[in-house]
Amino acid sequence: MLTLFAYVLQKLLDEEIKLIEKRYEADFMKYSGVDNCRGAANKLNIEANSKVGS
């Protein structure tokens, strides 16, 4: 019974660690400007594509 409890607890901890890692990665990207760079690059690509098509 204790082994089952330890197994379930370990699985819950693993899931919590994954969530924390995802939050950390999202915060890192947000504060490092990666999202801003992607947004600017997408905007430039859209503008360039619209000029080529006209």
> Over the stretch 2-42, which tens digit does the pLDDT of each residue have?
899 999 999 999 999 999 999 888 877 777 665 566 666 66
Number of domains in the chain: 1
Put simply, whether the predicted model's pTM sits higher than 0.75 gets the answer: no
Q: What are phi and psi of 33, to 5 degrees?
A: 85, 10
R_g of the chain, CA atoms, integer Å: 21
Domain range for residue 5? 1-52
pLDDT of 25:
85
